[in-house]
């Protein structure tokens, strides 16, 4: 068994050319130059993604990385670098991971399916970790890149591996099978949806089943057998079904008891039982799959029942919330292992809003590593992450306290001790990452540190935001820059929280409406260039002090700025020029361009960074001719300006729908607005490529029985058609749920059912007709999400999604999550 690999070994394994000038042991496979935790032990794979990985070699080199897998040697003067040259960098990564996998003769469960892969993987981990030392994919790292990185984590202490595999198009599973080499297969829920990457659902199923090609046993739902390709039936199969009694595990009776789901089943001619602590259909099916898998692994039915009953929810989320004493809290209090710690530390590194970073960490269990080695690795991660304050909780961490270095160190034997000491250590103006194994109950710490929220929250999914960003990046012509509009609190979605992610993901520019918005971003550590759409002359000094770039749109404003620059002895200050091509809001009119050019002719005070205009109706086919006219007047204007200046400027005119519909009008940059937040009239609503990022939810404060003869709310406007019940929820027009939604116009999702409002919306609350829904006080109610979309809400009251988004008032707490 080979457990350590040097650069030279790896060169042989992946059959690379090139020379190894400095051999060393590699323990980390790196695919992102921003995630360097231990540079000397890292091997960087220059993958060809949205950007060419070769572009980041210099960054990685500066950070200390000396070994690279590349398709061609970049021009670099450095002599101390190992370049392993291959035809296909991704294939090389996969070959190396497959080689590592084959060093281990352990049981490996491979999971695939359309839904539930991550939950089933995490639950199997929970269920079997009492006696197994399990390695698994961090989060849902199940892609062509995620799988090899996951498999690379297997170490000699592990005696079981659980890996999920996800594919998006035909042909991908074979490579994942070769890396995972599963000995047992588990198939999760198969959606009937005909996914974009497949010709048919049958092709999708067949492709997924390739993962199980060499498995000695497969666990799947019997009902799917009809679709199974012939040769799959020859495997040893453990089937389950809720319909067919010939399945190995036949669930024949199901009832709900006290909020739990009780099942009886036939297994090996015996009646067995199982209590699932969830009632939703997806969780029940996932629990049955886990039950079947445990039985297939030889667990006793009684053990299965006992453990499944205690299944804890799976949270892959990191939540970012406002904390007490000006802190930001990143809550990851549900699981702890070294891989997810690395991911969380990376998210912490993206936060710029406070200069101090704190980590509260519990002992880590079942890593498969020897304790000293484990805590040595953790101490190294902590030190590389630049943690200012480290708080370790647990006897193992306390025992290894000498390994840790940070400005402030605190150790506690258990969570209670830390809680008692929390006021004394006084966390203040810092970003605090809370990361603990479940048994440490770190949710108590997060409860103590997070600001109390009124129960209406706007949840922002930062993963979706990133997907949306990438969706638009994918539409850009080569070399086109991207400016993201983060005006009006990023359309109501946040300030530094959104900007941090954009900065980390290398957008080129941000734009805000007013100087104050730009200052807020600077004060929370945003260093990207920022354009200010409506710079106020009274705030020019602050604008300049914060390196914000004004958009100048009139002679008056231009003069004011030049005068200001003159007085303050400023030269070549970056400005942007706004041309009015038909919007008639602000901007230099076409006929004014000549005079503007005269002003620019010899002007040492400003440097024109960009010239732009704004489309009036980029999403409306009926106005396409007008849009074309705008484009041509824009071209005339910027040409005149560039001719005068004698240098080229960044030209931009497209907003979100412009990007989608006018690929020839991208020029040098586009301005992405509402599309980032998941709304674009030019993209079909059912597309999975673009998704809303925000969920507005509230809770039920009271449920009342109401007779048809009664009236509900102010002015007696509401009533029920027949005797029924209403639920009062904690959202009103002061939260942004407009009065126009009252009296049945608006609808909310209560336990999965869409129900209408009844009566007038009041300031802080409103009432819903829940006559036909099972509901109790405290239940969650969805105002909008990816199902009940803001587009629909906008249509209900005759407005546009922009207004719905930006109306959510600042009283509503924002919670950000990242998976
Ligand atoms: C708000 C704004 C945008 C973004 O528009 P979307 O339709 O949200 O993409 C682009 N340009 C300017 C000048 C804007 O004010």
CATH number at residue 402: 3.90.190.20
Q: Which atom of ligand 1 is nearest to the CA of 491?
A: 8
Whether residues 298 and 338 share a domain: the answer is no
Provide the Cα torsion 24, 350, 782, 808; round to 10°.
Answer: -170
Whether residues 154 and 88 share a domain: the answer is no
Residues shown for the chain: 819
The CA distance from 495 to 288, in Å, is 43
Measured CA angle at 350 (ends 349, 351), to 5 deg: 90
pLDDT of residue 233: 63
- Give the active site residue among 169, 243, 420, 714: 714
pLDDT of residue 180: 98
Q: How far does residue 385's CA lie from ligand 1's centre (Å)?
A: 36
The CA distance from 441 to 414, in Å, is 10
Mean pLDDT over residues 187-215, rounded? 83
Say which range, 122-136, 195-209, 738-752, 800-814, has the weakest mean pLDDT.
Answer: 195-209
How sure is the predictor about 164, in pLDDT bands with cuts at 50, 70 and 90? very high
Residue that finishes a domain, picked among 431, 452, 473? 452
Segment holding 25, helix H or strand E: strand 25-26
Residue that finishes a domain, picked among 677, 707, 733? 677
The CA distance from 755 to 763, in Å, is 20
Q: How large a percentage of the chain has pLDDT more than 90?
A: 84
Say which range, 284-288, 437-441, 530-534, 808-812, has the weakest mean pLDDT.
Answer: 437-441
Q: Which atom of ligand 1 is nearest to the CA of 674?
A: 8
Q: Is the pLDDT of residue 107 over 90?
A: yes
Query: Terminus-to-terminus CA distance in the chain, angstroms?
Result: 34
How sure is the predictor about 317, in pLDDT bands with cuts at 50, 70 and 90? confident
The answer as to whether 527 is a domain residue is yes
pLDDT of residue 226: 66
pLDDT of residue 655: 97
Cβ count near 447 (within 10 Å): 13
The dihedral through the CA atoms of 163, 167, 170, 176 has a sign that is negative
Q: How far does residue 794's CA lie from ligand 1's centre (Å)?
A: 18
CA atoms within 13 A on the CB side of 622: 0
Q: How far does residue 544's CA lie from ligand 1's centre (Å)?
A: 23
Q: How far does residue 669's CA lie from ligand 1's centre (Å)?
A: 13
Of 450, 445, 435, 416, the C-alpha closest to 334 is 435
3-state secondary structure of 417: helix
Whether residues 176 and 289 share a domain: the answer is yes
Whether residues 665 and 795 share a domain: the answer is no
Contact present, 512 and 487 (Cβ < 8 Å): yes
Output the residue whose Cα is nearest ligand 1's atom 13.
614
Whether residues 700 and 783 share a domain: the answer is yes
Q: How far does residue 614's CA lie from ligand 1's centre (Å)?
A: 7
Q: How far does residue 752's CA lie from ligand 1's centre (Å)?
A: 34
Distance of CA 332 to the CA centre of its chain: 14
**In the predicted model, what is the mean pLDDT of the chain?**
93
Q: Is the pLDDT of residue 673 over 90?
A: yes
The CA distance from 6 to 212, in Å, is 32
Q: How far does residue 616's CA lie from ligand 1's centre (Å)?
A: 10
Of 213, 208, 212, 201, the C-alpha closest to 171 is 208
The CA distance from 332 to 433, in Å, is 7
Domain count, the chain: 5
3-state secondary structure of 376: helix
Would residue 612 show up in a list of annotated catalytic residues for this protein? no
The CA distance from 62 to 75, in Å, is 15
Which of 468, 482, 511 maximizes ligand 1 atoms within 8 Å of its Cβ, making it the mutation to test the pocket? 511
Q: Is the pLDDT of residue 192 over 90?
A: no
Q: The domain spanning residue 16 has which CATH number? A: 3.40.1390.10
The answer as to whether 684 is a domain residue is no
Whether residues 262 and 129 share a domain: the answer is yes
Q: Is the pLDDT of residue 228 over 90?
A: no
Spatial neighbors of 689 by CB under 8 A, at least 6 apart, are 467, 471, 683
Q: Can you count the helices (H) and strands (E) in the chain?
A: 25, 37
Contact present, 276 and 283 (Cβ < 8 Å): yes
Q: Which atom of ligand 1 is nearest to the CA of 578?
A: 13
Would residue 487 show up in a list of annotated catalytic residues for this protein? yes
Q: How far does residue 673's CA lie from ligand 1's centre (Å)?
A: 5
Q: What are the residues facing 408 on neighbouring strands?
A: 389
Whether residues 761 and 671 share a domain: the answer is no
- Give the active site residue among 139, 208, 473, 487: 487
3-state secondary structure of 788: coil
Burial of 257 (0-12, 13-18, 19+ CB in 10 A): exposed
Whether residues 749 and 615 share a domain: the answer is no
Q: Which atom of ligand 1 is nearest to the CA of 659?
A: 9
Which of 488, 551, 614, 801 maximizes ligand 1 atoms within 8 Å of its Cβ, making it the mutation to test the pocket? 614
Contact present, 805 and 488 (Cβ < 8 Å): no
Domain containing residue 357? 318-452
Taking only the tens place, the pLDDT of each residue in 479-532 is 999 999 999 999 999 999 999 999 999 999 999 999 999 999 999 999 999 999
Q: How far does residue 662's CA lie from ligand 1's centre (Å)?
A: 15
pLDDT of residue 47: 96
Which of 577, 655, 657 maximizes ligand 1 atoms within 8 Å of its Cβ, making it the mutation to test the pocket? 655
Task: Give DSSP secondary structure letters for 599-665.
Answer: HHHT-TTEEEEEEE---S-TT-GGGHHHHHHHHHHHHHHHHHHHHHHSS--EEE---HHHHHH-GGG
Taking only the tens place, the pLDDT of each residue in 330-368 is 998 777 788 889 889 999 999 999 999 999 999 998 777
CA atoms within 13 A on the CB side of 581: 27
The answer as to whether 682 is a domain residue is no
The CA distance from 144 to 626, in Å, is 45
Q: Is the pLDDT of residue 230 over 80?
A: no
Q: What are the residues facing 511 on neighbouring strands?
A: 485, 531
pTM to 2 decimal places: 0.86
List pocket residues of ligand 1, CB cut-off 6 Å: 485, 533, 614, 655-656, 671, 673-675
The edge-to-edge listing of strands for the beta sheet with 160-164 is 134-136, 160-164, 107-112, 184-187, 217-221, 237-241, 249-257, 260-267, 270-276
Whether residues 486 and 547 share a domain: the answer is yes
How sure is the predictor about 201, in pLDDT bands with cuts at 50, 70 and 90? confident
Mean pLDDT over residues 50-75, rounded? 93
Taking only the tens place, the pLDDT of each residue in 385-409 is 999 999 999 999 999 999 999 889 9
Residue that finishes a domain, picked among 430, 452, 474? 452
DSSP β-ladder status, 356-362 and 82-85: unpaired
The CA distance from 71 to 45, in Å, is 10
Q: Which atom of ligand 1 is nearest to the CA of 671?
A: 10
Contact present, 290 and 321 (Cβ < 8 Å): no
Contact present, 46 and 89 (Cβ < 8 Å): yes
The answer as to whether 773 is a domain residue is yes
Whether residues 241 and 365 share a domain: the answer is no
The answer as to whether 457 is a domain residue is no
The better pLDDT of the pair 530, 139 is held by: 530
Q: The domain spanning residue 784 has which CATH number? A: 2.40.37.10
How sure is the predictor about 454, in pLDDT bands with cuts at 50, 70 and 90? low
- 140-149 exposure pattern, b = at least 16 Cβ within 10 A, e = fewer: bbbbbbbbbb
Q: The domain spanning residue 559 has which CATH number? A: 3.20.20.10
Q: Which atom of ligand 1 is nearest to the CA of 672?
A: 9
The answer as to whether 683 is a domain residue is no
The answer as to whether 643 is a domain residue is yes
Q: Which atom of ligand 1 is nearest to the CA of 675?
A: 9
Which of 656, 665, 671, 802 maximizes ligand 1 atoms within 8 Å of its Cβ, making it the mutation to test the pocket? 671
Whether residues 733 and 797 share a domain: the answer is yes
Q: How far does residue 671's CA lie from ligand 1's centre (Å)?
A: 6
Whether residues 478 and 596 share a domain: the answer is yes
Output the residue whose Cα is nearest ligand 1's atom 10.
655
Say which range, 71-80, 174-183, 306-315, 385-394, has the weakest mean pLDDT.
Answer: 71-80
Q: How far does residue 672's CA lie from ligand 1's centre (Å)?
A: 7
Strands (E), 323-463: 328-332, 356-362, 389-393, 408-412, 430-435, 457-461
Three-state secondary structure of 162-206:
EEECCCCCCCCHHHHHHHHCCCEEEECECCCCCCCCCCCHHHHHH
The answer as to whether 685 is a domain residue is no
Q: Which atom of ligand 1 is nearest to the CA of 656?
A: 9
DSSP β-ladder status, 25-26 and 5-6: antiparallel
Of 83, 92, 104, 103, the C-alpha closest to 47 is 92
How sure is the predictor about 232, in pLDDT bands with cuts at 50, 70 and 90? low
3-state secondary structure of 160: strand
Mean pLDDT over residues 324-333, rounded? 91
Cβ count near 336 (within 10 Å): 24
Mean pLDDT over residues 536-551, rounded? 97
């Amino acid at each position: 068994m080979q457990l350590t690999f040097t650069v030279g070994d790896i060169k042989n394994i992946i059959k690379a050319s090139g020379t190894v000038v400095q051999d060393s042991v590699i323990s980390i496979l790196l695919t992102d130059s921003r995630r360097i935790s231990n540079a000397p032990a890292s091997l960087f794979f220059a993958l060809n993604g949205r950007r060419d990985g070769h572009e980041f070699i210099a960054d990685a080199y500066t950070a200390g990385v000396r070994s690279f897998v590349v398709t061609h040697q970049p021009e670099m003067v450095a002599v101390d670098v190992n370049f392993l040259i291959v035809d296909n960098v991704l294939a090389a990564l996969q070959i190396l991971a497959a080689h590592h996998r084959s060093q281990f003769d352990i049981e490996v469960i491979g999971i695939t399916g359309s839904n539930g892969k991550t939950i089933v993987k995490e639950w199997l981990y929970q269920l079997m970790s009492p006696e197994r030392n399990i390695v698994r994919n961090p989060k849902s790292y199940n892609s062509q890149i995620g799988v090899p990185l996951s498999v690379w984590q297997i170490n000699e202490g592990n005696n079981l591996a659980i890996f999920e595999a996800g594919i998006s198009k035909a042909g991908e599973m074979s490579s994942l099978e070769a890396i995972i080499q599963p000995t047992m297969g588990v198939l999760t829920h198969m959606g009937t949806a005909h996914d974009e990457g497949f010709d048919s659902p049958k092709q999708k199923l067949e492709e997924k089943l390739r993962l199980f090609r060499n498995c000695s046993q497969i666990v799947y739902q019997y009902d799917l057998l009809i679709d199974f390709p012939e040769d799959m039936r020859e495997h040893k199969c453990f089937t389950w079904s809720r319909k067919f009694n010939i399945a190995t595990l036949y669930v024949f009776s199901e009832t709900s008891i006290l909020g739990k789901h009780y099942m009886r089943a036939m297994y090996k001619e015996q009646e067995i039982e199982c209590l699932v602590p969830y009632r939703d259909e997806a969780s029940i099916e996932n629990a049955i799959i886990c039950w079947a898998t445990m039985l297939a692994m030889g667990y006793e039915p009684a053990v299965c029942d006992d453990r499944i009953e205690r299944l804890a929810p799976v949270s892959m989320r990191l939540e970012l919330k406002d904390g007490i004493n000006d802190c930001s809290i990143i809550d990851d209090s549900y699981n702890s292992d070294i891989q997810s710690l690395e991911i969380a530390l990376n998210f912490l590194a993206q936060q710029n809003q406070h200069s101090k970073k704190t980590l509260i960490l519990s002992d880590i269990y079942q890593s498969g590593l020897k304790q000293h080695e484990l805590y040595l690795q953790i101490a190294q991660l902590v030190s590389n992450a630049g943690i200012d304050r480290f708080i370790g909780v647990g006897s193992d961490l306390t025992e290894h306290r000498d390994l840790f270095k940070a400005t402030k160190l605190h150790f506690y034997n258990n969570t209670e001790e830390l809680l008692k000491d929390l006021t004394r250590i006084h966390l203040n103006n810092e970003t605090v990452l809370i990361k603990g194994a479940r048994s440490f109950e770190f949710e108590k710490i997060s409860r103590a540190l997070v600001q109390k929220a009124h129960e209406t929250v706007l949840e922002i999914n930062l993963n979706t935001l990133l997907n949306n960003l990438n969706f638009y990046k994918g539409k850009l012509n080569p070399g086109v820059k991207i400016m993201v509009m983060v005006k009006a609190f990023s359309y109501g979605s946040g300030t530094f929280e959104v900007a941090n992610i954009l900065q980390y993901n290398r957008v080129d520019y941000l734009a805000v409406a007013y100087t104050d918005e730009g200052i807020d971003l600077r004060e929370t550590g945003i260093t990207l260039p920022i354009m200010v759409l409506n710079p106020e002359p009274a705030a020019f000094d602050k604008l300049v002090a914060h390196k914000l770039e004004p958009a100048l749109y009139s002679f008056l404003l231009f003069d004011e700025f030049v005068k200001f620059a003159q007085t303050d002895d400023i030269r070549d200050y970056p400005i942007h020029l706004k041309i009015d091509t038909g919007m008639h809001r602000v901007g230099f009119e076409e006929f004014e361009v000549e005079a503007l050019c005269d002003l620019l002719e010899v002007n040492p005070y400003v440097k024109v960074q960009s010239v732009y205009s704004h489309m009036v109706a980029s999403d409306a086919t009926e106005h396409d001719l007008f849009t074309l006219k705008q484009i041509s007047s824009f071209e005339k204007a910027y040409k005149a300006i560039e001719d005068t200046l004698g240098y080229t400027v960044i030209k931009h005119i497209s907003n979100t729908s412009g990007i989608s519909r006018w690929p020839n009008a991208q020029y040098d940059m586009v301005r992405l607005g509402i599309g980032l937040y998941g709304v674009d009239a030019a993209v079909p609503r059912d597309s999975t490529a673009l998704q809303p990022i925000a969920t507005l939810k509230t809770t039920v404060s009271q449920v009342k029985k109401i007779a048809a003869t009664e009236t509900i709310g102010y002015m007696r406007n509401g009533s029920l058609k027949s005797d029924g019940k209403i639920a009062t929820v904690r959202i009103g027009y002061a939260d942004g749920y407009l009065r126009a939604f009252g009296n049945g116009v608006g609808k909310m999702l209560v336990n999965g059912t869409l129900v209408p409002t009844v009566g007038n919306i009041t300031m802080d609350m409103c009432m819903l007709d829940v006559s036909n829904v099972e509901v109790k006080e405290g239940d969650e109610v969805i105002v909008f999400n990816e199902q009940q979309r803001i587009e629909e809400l906008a249509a209900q009251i005759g407005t546009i999604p922009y207004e719905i988004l930006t109306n959510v008032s600042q009283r509503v707490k924002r919670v950000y999550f990242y998976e």
